[in-house]
Structure 1
Amino acid sequence: MARSTYGTRADDTFATMRADILAGRLTPGEKLKFPELSTRYGVGVGVLREALTRLVEQDLVRSQPHQGFQVTPLSAEDLIELTTARVAIECLVFRMSLAEGDTPWESDLVAKHHTLERTPQYDRDDPERVGDAWSRAHADFHHALLAGCRNSRLLGIATSLRDSAELYRSWSQQHFRHPDRDVIAEHRELMELALARDADAAVEALARHISHTTDILLGTDHRQESMSAGNVGSGVSA
Structure 2
Amino acid sequence: MVKREGGESLAVTVYGQVRSAILDRGEFTPGQRLKPADLTSQYGVSLSVIREALGLLAAKGLVRIERNRGFRVTPLSCETLNDLTEARVINECAALRLSVQHGDVAWESQVLAAHHRLASEPLFLPGDPPTRNARWAAAHIEFHHALIAACDNAVLLDICEHLADSAELYRAWSAAGTREVQRDVAGEHRGLLDAALTRDANLAAERLAAHITRTRQILLEFGFPHVDAEPAASAAR
| TM-score normalised to structure 2 length | 0.85
Q: Cα deviations across residues 189-225 of structure 1 (Å, max 9, x unaligned)?
A: 10111011101111000000000121122249xxxxx
Residue identity (%)? 46
Q: Cα deviations across residues 71-99 of structure 1 (Å, max 9, x unaligned)?
A: 10011111111111111111111111112
Structure 1 segments (4+ residues) deviating >6 Å: 3-6
Q: Which amino acid is 1:96 matched to?
A: L
> RMSD of the alignment, in Å?
2.1
Structure 1: 5+ residue runs without aligned partners? 221-238
Deviation at 1:26?
Answer: 1.2
Give the length in aligned residue pairs.
218
Indicate the residue corresponding to 2:12 in structure 1. Answer: 11
1:151 aligns with 2:188: no
| TM-score normalised to structure 1 length | 0.85
Deviation at 1:180?
Answer: 6.2
Change in CA separation of 1:101 and 1:126 when aligned onto 2, cut-off 3 Å: farther
Deviation at 1:178?
Answer: 4.9
Greater Cα offset, 4-13 or 148-157: 4-13
Equivalent runs, 1:2-81 vs 2, <5 Å: 7-22=8-23, 23-81=25-83
In structure 1, how many angstroms separate the alpha carbons of the residues matched to 2:215 and 2:5?
A: 41
Indicate the residue corresponding to 1:215 in structure 2. Answer: 217
Deviation at 1:129?
Answer: 2.3
In structure 1, how many angstroms separate the alpha carbons of the residues matched to 2:182 and 2:19?
A: 30
Deviation at 1:108?
Answer: 0.6
Equivalent runs, 1:169-180 vs 2, <5 Å: 169-179=171-181
Deviation at 1:4?
Answer: 8.3
Contact 1:29 1:72 in 2 (8 A): yes
Q: Which amino acid is 1:217 matched to?
A: L
Deviation at 1:5?
Answer: 7.1
Q: Which structure is higher in helix share?
A: 1
